[in-house]
Amino acid sequence: MTKKALYTSITLALTMQFSQVATVQAEIVDIEITNLTHAMHFTPLVITAHDSETSLFVAGEAASSELQAMAEGGDISGLESILSGTSASTASNPAAGLLAPTSSTMVSELDTAENTHLSIVGMILPTNDGFVGLNGWEIPTTPDTYTIYLNAYDAGTEVNDEIVNGGGAPGAAGIPVIPGMDVTTTASGVTNTEQNTLVHIHRGNIGDTNTDGGASDLDSRVHRWLNPVAKVVVTVK
């Protein structure tokens, strides 16, 4: 090999190494989440940038106990514990409580720390085990603003009886207290069986208009929804 050819080969090798290093770098992102529903609330959200091997949920598979706790009662501590054992960059509960209908919350300047995927989960209230979810969206490397619309999922861990009784603990039937409603139930329950026990798209609340009984404690005039239930705007800087 001539000196010129050797120099060219070394130069190309170094250029490729520097190019590879340049592409493996942290992204700084802003994440705005808007509740698009008419009367449903989101409990504290988990927003996390993670690697491609991490998943908070997988549609068509059984929910983990940590996902169940979030979907049935809004308890995100188990999911936070899982993420703390990884390289994930996590921002929890940006709304400092419930995210009301039509309201937005923001995570600013999240350093992804070289993580490549974004996930978001939070219980939808009032539901038995419904949650809003984004699972492993690949974060673009090109600076820009990106919009994502999120669906409601059913964790498949609890019967959708639509009875508000202050429940919410994993394995305990019923819906936790919702804003503006006490825990006294008068409903007989929409159903006492659940055919799909895997994570799946939520079929929505049924509800009724009977305030003194009926099948559901939920009001069909306000507690129903159609997907999508949330809008996420990601700004890659």
Q: Mean pLDDT check: name the lowest of 17-26, 30-39, 126-135, 158-167.
A: 17-26
Following CA atoms 84, 139, 59, 42 in sequence, which dihedral angle do they give, to the nearest 10 degrees? Answer: 70
pTM (predicted TM-score): 0.88
> 190 to each of 78, 153, 179, 205, 207, how far by Cα in Å?
30, 18, 21, 10, 8
Distance (Å, whole) CA 105 – CA 29: 14
Query: What pLDDT band is residue 212 in, cutting at 50, 70 and 90?
Result: confident
Query: What tens digit of pLDDT does each residue of 59-80 get?
Result: 999 999 999 999 999 999 999 9
CB 71 within 8 A of CB 123: yes
Q: Which residue has the tokens 């419904």?
A: 130
State pLDDT tens for residues 147-192: 999 999 999 999 999 999 999 999 999 999 888 877 778 899 999 9
Residue 20 has pLDDT above 70, yes or no: no
- Walk me through the domains of the chain, giving residue ranges and CATH numbers: 25-236 (2.60.40.2130)
Q: Taking the CA of residue 140 as centre, how many other CA atoms within 13 Å lie in the half-sphere pointing to its CB?
A: 13
Per-residue confidence (pLDDT) for residue 184, from 0 to 100: 75
Encode pLDDT of 88-140 as tens digits.
999 999 999 999 999 999 999 999 999 999 999 999 999 999 999 999 999 99
